[in-house]
Structure 1
Amino acid sequence: MALYMQIADDLARRVRSGELAAGEELPGVREYARTLGTTSSTVVRAYRYLADAGVITMADRRRARVAGEGAIAAARLLEPERVFRLAGSDDPALGVLLDRLGAAVVPVGARGSFQGLRAVARGEADGAVIHLRHRDGVYNEAFARAVLGRDKPRLLHLWRREQGLIVPAGNPRGLASAAQLGGLRVARRELGAGTRLLLEQLLLTDGVAPHEIAGPELHSHMEIAFAVATGIADVGLGVRAGLADLGLDFVPLLWEPYEIALGHGALGAARPLIATLRDPLFQRSVADLDGYDLQHTATVRPLVSANR
């Protein structure tokens, strides 16, 4: 390996590990060349290579800083062929995203937010799509910390989506809340799914015991919509997207953040995913589905210990 590549590789590893943080200034070219016992031109080549990869930014040919998303770029640079393994929740817009990404992302494991987090913890997946509401009203953070805390987890924001009651056209029963679901056939997601957890939270808040609710247990939002459309269920809890084509109505209840919990080592493999999320054409296709808010799409935030 050429010397400039060795220098770049060492710096990329330090950025990925967090030793060199976002915004931190790298040593000047001449100073670093003296430290390494090499020429200034070799260090310049190393810096330019890292800048081209998005790991650092260069104000001029002699001054450089770690880029805002340098850790993601560094991880991708060090593992260019790694495929991102995605587990977790189901969502119509997620299907659009996966179609765009092709072979760069591979769905793995059973669906459901809890199952996805467990897959990441076991090393079977690089990220889990989750939408889990804590009793304090905050989504995802406590659950990702609890399961992945030792792996310095991050949350990649996909979008906010609208959840509500899926009902026949005209909402003949006049349903407006979970309090009215007693005695009805309710299409529900399977245990471990975030939407199933949300339904049970809404029922308890409205004074209805979840075990008193009966109806089919299904594995996707589209299956829930189909169950209502075919008369197998009277109502279901799910997302707004795609209901107009089935002649169904929607009773909005809340908006929720829909995010991917990432282990620290998965940042590089997630870079194609992040790039696609920022693509205006992709965002337009999601907006056309209805029931989505993409204001903070593709932002990544680290999760610190709740005790700090």
Structure 2
Amino acid sequence: MTRYREICTDLAGRIGTGELAPGAELPAVRELAHRFDTTASTVGRAQRELADAGVIVTADRRRARVATRGQVAARRYLHPDLVFCLAGSDDPALDLVTRTLGRAVRTVGATGSFDGLRAVRQGRADGAAVHLLHHTGVYNAPFARGLLRGRGPHLIHLWRREQGLIVPPGNPRGLTTAADLAPLRIARRHHGTGTRILLDRLLLAAGHDPDTLRGPEIGSHLEVALSVASGAVDAGFGVRSAAHDLDLDFVPLATEDYEIVLGSAAIDAAAPLIAALHEPALRSAVAELGGYDLTRGGAVTDLDAAT
């Protein structure tokens, strides 16, 4: 390893573990040169590389500092070849994000929040996209704590999103609540998906047996919207962005936290995804899909530390 790469690896490692926190000053150039038995110009080259990678920020006649999101950038810098294997819930915005990241994220076969959590628990995936409301009224965290106990459960907040009724233009049947679906033919997601669980909960709260609802069980939000647009069903239940894609109307019924559950060992592999969630261009592209709030997008919560 060349000397400047050794300096990069040392500093990125300390930043990645949190030893050097965001905003912390790095040792002076001369101090680093002495520590690594090299020249100031070599240290300068190392700092320029870390700055280009978003790990640190530099300024004339001032010591370099750890960037605001330096910890994630450091992990991405140190592990550029890691692939994050993602299972779980379907979402049009998540499809956009994974396409943007290319080979850094690979989706695996498990679909739906429940199957995604099972895949992480069994080691078939690094993380699962979920949107599950616990009986305590808290989204996602209780499930992550329970299923990943002893594995450093974390949450990556993606966004809050709207779920509701997808209806033909003009909402000809005047649907306003989940109870209005009871006599109709409805496109809905499969059992084990967070969206199906949400719909069943809304129907039960309105005094209707979810098992009496008529209509096909569909594999994705886009397919739900396509079923409505084609006239195969009277309405569907899904996310606003799917309705927006096909110029359908939408009746919002719930806003939910959409997050990725993962263990601490997968944080390094998730670094490109976390970094992407802070990029203004990507955040704008997701928001334009309709029904997404990215205020906390990219926030990472260590659930062991949060208890």
Shorter-chain TM-score tier: 0.7 to 0.9
- Structure 1 contact 71–267 (Cα < 8 Å) conserved: no
Q: How far apart, in 1, do the equivalents of 2:251 and 2:112 lie?
A: 23
- Structure 1 contact 29–62 (Cα < 8 Å) conserved: no
- Structure 1 contact 141–303 (Cα < 8 Å) conserved: no
- Structure 1 contact 221–239 (Cα < 8 Å) conserved: yes
Provide the residue aligned with 1:252 in structure 2: 252
**1:300 corresponds to which letter in structure 2?**
A
Q: Does 1:301 align with 2:296?
A: no
CA shift at 1:62, angstroms?
A: 7.2
Provide the residue aligned with 2:124 in structure 1: 124
- Structure 2 contact 153–302 (Cα < 8 Å) conserved: yes
Superposition CA RMSD, Å: 3.2
Aligned residues: 306
**Identical pairs, percent:** 57
Provide the residue aligned with 1:243 in structure 2: 243
C-alpha distance 24-121 of structure 1, shift in aligned 2 (>3 A) = farther
Provide the residue aligned with 2:74 in structure 1: 74
Does the residue aligned with 2:176 lie in a helix, a strand or coil? coil
- Which segment is superposed worse, 6-15 or 221-230? 6-15
Q: How far apart, in 1, do the equivalents of 2:26 and 2:195 lie?
A: 46
**Mind listing any 5+ residue stretches in structure 2 that lack a counterpart?**
none
Provide the residue aligned with 1:223 in structure 2: 223
Does the residue aligned with 1:115 lie in a helix, a strand or coil? helix
CA shift at 1:92, angstroms?
A: 1.9
**Mind listing any 5+ residue stretches in structure 1 that lack a counterpart?**
none
CA shift at 1:253, angstroms?
A: 1.0
Q: How far apart, in 2, do the equivalents of 1:15 and 1:86 lie?
A: 26
Deviation per residue, 1:87-128 (Å, 9 max, x gap) = 221122223333333333222122212222332333333332
C-alpha distance 212-13 of structure 1, shift in aligned 2 (>3 A) = same
Q: How far apart, in 2, do the equivalents of 1:193 and 1:210 lie?
A: 14
Does the residue aligned with 1:243 lie in a helix, a strand or coil? helix
The two structures have a TM-score, normalised by structure 1, of 0.81
Q: How far apart, in 1, do the equivalents of 2:283 and 2:68 lie?
A: 22
- Structure 1 contact 88–112 (Cα < 8 Å) conserved: yes
Query: In the TM superposition, what are the counterparts of 1:1-308 in structure 2 within 5 Å?
Result: 1-29=1-29, 36=35, 38-39=37-38, 41=40, 46-58=46-58, 63-243=63-243, 246=246, 248-297=248-297, 299-305=298-304, 308=307
Does the residue aligned with 1:138 lie in a helix, a strand or coil? coil
Does the residue aligned with 1:162 lie in a helix, a strand or coil? strand
